[in-house]
Amino acid sequence: FGFERLGGVAYQIAPVLEEMTGYETRVTVLGHLQRGGTPTAFDRVLATRLGVKAGELALGDAGRVMVAMRGAGIEAVDLAEACAEIRGVDEDLFDTATLFFG
């Protein structure tokens, strides 16, 4: 489409974020992390929504939070809250997924 390719931008941004926040920052290449086929339209839209929210939080003073989808919304979740309890996968949902996806 004639757009400039911006591959490798994360490697330029990571040290800047680390310097600004004082937190160790690592680049994760999704193609190395995720193996499972072509993303669906939902995957792409969800990734965009999560990324936009993460960017907004990074520009603000949100503290130690992560982004999560709750219901249909994207929101910040305190990391302490997210790690406070171990939540298992619903067995019926797991059985259904196993039936369809092996």
Over residues 16-50, the pLDDT tens digits come to 999 999 999 999 887 766 777 788 899 999 999 99
Residue 97: its pLDDT value, please? 92
Q: What is the rounded average pLDDT for all residues in the chain? A: 89
Please check whether residue 22 is in contact with residue 9, taking contact to mean a CB–CB distance below 8 angstroms: no
Distance CA 87, CA 72 (A): 20
DSSP letter (8 states) at residue 6? -
Tell me the domain boundaries of the chain. 9-101
Q: Please indicate, yes or no, whether the overall pTM of this predicted structure exceeds 0.75.
A: no
pLDDT band at 102 (very low <50, low <70, confident <90, very high): confident
Rounded to whole angstroms, how far apart are CA atoms 100 and 93? Answer: 11
